[in-house]
Structure formats: C-alpha cells, structure tokens
Structure 1
Amino acid sequence: MKNIYEILEDFGLEIPAEKKTDFEKAWKENYRTKSEYDIAVTKRDEYKSSLDTVSEQLKAFDGVDVADLNGQIKKLKDDLKAKDGEYAAKEADRIFSDTLKEAIKTAGGRNEKAVMAMLDMDALKASKNQSEDIKKALEAVKESDAYLFGSDEPFMNAVGATGGSADVGGDNLSAIRAAMGLPTNK
C-alpha cells in the first residue's frame, strides 16, 4: 500500500521536505475514518429532515398577526380574571346569605324573607365583623318588630280541653274504637 506522499507524487505533486511535517500533522488532525464519515452523513440527514419538518410547521403560521394573537390572549386572560372575580363575589354572597339565615333561625325568626327585608343588607355585607353586626341588627329588629320572631316566654295560660264532656270513657270510647275497626276494651 502506498503512503500519501507516493499517491501525491503519482499525481505530480511534490511536497518539500520541510513542509512534510506540517502536512503530516494537518493530515492526521483532519483525517476521518469511513465510519466517522457515515455518522456525520446520518446526522446531516437527520438535521435536514428536522429542518424540513419545522419549515412545514412554520408555513402554517404564515399570515398570522402576532399582535392580534397577543390581543386575543390578553382579552381571554381579562375575561378569566373577571369570571374569577364574579365567582368569588357569588361565593361571598352565598356565605353571607347562609350566615344570615342561620342567625335568623337561631334568633327565632318566623319568616326569613320578612326579617331580611327589615335589615340593611348592604351595610351588613360591607361590615368587617359580619356575625356580630348581624346579631346586633337582629336584636334591633326583634325589639321593633317582635311579631316576626317566636315568643321566648313560656305559656302562662294553658288552654284546657275544648267542648264536649271531660269523660272519654264508657260508650264514647267503645264507639270510637269500633269506628276505627278496633276491638272494644272491657
């Protein structure tokens, strides 16, 4: 097998002796084997196919107005923020309403809607300490419109039996049992 200098001489190229060391050094640094060459070709082909794929995907975005898309994204984010605020407000109203209904029930209110109509709802919603302010407002309504609340006092005048005889025995009891289809007691 011929060395590189012999091959170059066959083509009519002669390298001076002082340049041979530089040439050998450069040749050894730049020499690649066939397998290294094949690997480089494979990588090149992979990069080319990736570039073609990306180019095709970019063609889908031709004519797209980026400023318009950014505007749409901003609008959607603002809409989402507004929906979150709306949901939070509804949840706060629900919690306030449940708290108020429970307080009315605890205070002995007969009709929640009627009692609620007597309260300043906006002031109670804006209150920092809602539970205490609701109790105070209910006490004020209880003093001014006591008929909206059940009576706390015990029954002083119990009512007795109405009409008829106080004796529910004898024939009357037998008649009642017979009307119900029960046997008579003796």
Structure 2
Amino acid sequence: MRTEDLQAKGLTQEQIDYVMAEYGKDINGIKQERDTYKTQLSTAQSTLKSFEGVNISELQGKIQTLTTDLANKDAEYQKQLAERDFNDLLKTTAEGFKPRDIKAVMPFLDVEKLKGSKNQETDIKAALEAVKKDKGYLFQDVSIPRVVAPTPGPGGEKTDDTRTQANNALRCILGRE
C-alpha cells in the first residue's frame, strides 16, 4: 500500500496518515513474528548440523549401558544398606546377651539364613540363645559385685566408714550416746 494510491482514491492527508499508521502496526507485528521464525529456523538448523556424523545406534547403546550401570549401582547400594541394617540389628541384639567378643560369636551363627529371614530380630535372638546355651564361655556371666573393706585414709589413719558415721548420727538423734 502506497500513499499515492490512497491519494488517487480521494483520501485526505489526515486519513492517509491514519490508514498508514494502522497498516504499519499490522505489518510491524507480522515482521517481528517472521524474524522470530527465522531465528528459530537458524537455531534448529545449527542444532541439526551439530548432530551430523553422530551414530544414533551408538548413542542408544551408550544410553542402554548407562541405564544398566545405574540400575546395578542402585541394586548394589540397596544391598549395602540392607547389609548395614542387618549388621546393626545383629550388633544391638547381641549386646543384650553380653558376649565377650561379638567376632568370636559370629562363626557360630548362620548369617546367610538370618539375613534371608522374614523376622530377623526374633531369629537372631533365638540363634544367640542357642549359641549361649551351647557355648556359654563366649558370654559374660552376671557377676555379683564383691564388697571391699574401706582403706585407711592419708597417713595410715583409719577413718570411720559411712556405716559407723550413720550409726553415730542415729545415736545422737535418739539420745543414746
């Protein structure tokens, strides 16, 4: 659309300016949209050029290998977590039985069977009880504390023990001294 064409149709200059401004708005929007599409096209073409010479089947093979490696690592990690949880459960349960050395008790336990057990805690307790019954020397006995007589104070002087002091205090209170 040209200004001369509009003047030939008999429009005034003010009308021509208005029509040209409105027409310019439409054209500028369309030009911007065209420029955006050109930019997107050039970006897509450059991206496609970067993939030239790339073997798709090789990439798919690498993706498959990496996915398999990731699954293996995840399984190994889960196995390590289960192993750690089992060892912690075994250690805490064994502490209740007071073994002299947990490493000395371990050969007498069927660890693989205990790991596969559904109710590990009760099975571990039962296995430890069986080992304690058969091999009691691996476990500490409940010892009765020995009472020791008081020792003399500094300089070899014999001081009153707590029992004597308590008896003296009671005698004073009751007035029997």
The TM-score normalised by the length of structure 1 is 0.65
Counterpart in the other structure of 1:144 = 134
Task: Report the 3-state secondary structure (helix = DSSP H, G, I; strand = E; otherwise coil) of the residue aligned with 1:152.
Answer: coil
CA drift of 1:118 comes to: 1.1
Counterpart in the other structure of 1:3 = 9
Counterpart in the other structure of 1:102 = 92
Counterpart in the other structure of 2:107 = 117
Answer yes or no: is 1:173 the counterpart of 2:163.
Answer: no
CA drift of 1:167 comes to: 9.0
Counterpart in the other structure of 1:126 = 116
Does the aligned pair in 2 maintain the 1:107–1:138 contact within 8 Å?
yes
Instruction: Select the structure of larger CA radius of gyration.
Output: 1
Partners of 1:38 and 1:153 lie apart in 2 by 98
Number of residue pairs matched by the alignment: 140
Answer yes or no: is 1:33 the counterpart of 2:39.
Answer: no
Partners of 1:167 and 1:80 lie apart in 2 by 69
The alignment-based identity, stated in percent, is 39
Does the aligned pair in 2 maintain the 1:104–1:115 contact within 8 Å?
no
The TM-score normalised by the length of structure 2 is 0.68
The aligned runs of 1:68-107 (5 Å cut-off) are 68-107=58-97
CA drift of 1:108 comes to: 1.1
CA drift of 1:78 comes to: 1.1
Which residue identity is paired with 1:112?
I
Counterpart in the other structure of 1:10 = none
CA drift of 1:72 comes to: 0.9
Segments of structure 2 that go 5 or more residues without pairing to the other structure are: 1-6, 11-21, 158-177
Segments of structure 1 that go 5 or more residues without pairing to the other structure are: 5-31, 175-186
Counterpart in the other structure of 1:67 = 57
Does the aligned pair in 2 maintain the 1:109–1:150 contact within 8 Å?
yes
Which residue identity is paired with 1:2?
A
Counterpart in the other structure of 2:164 = none
CA drift of 1:153 comes to: 5.7
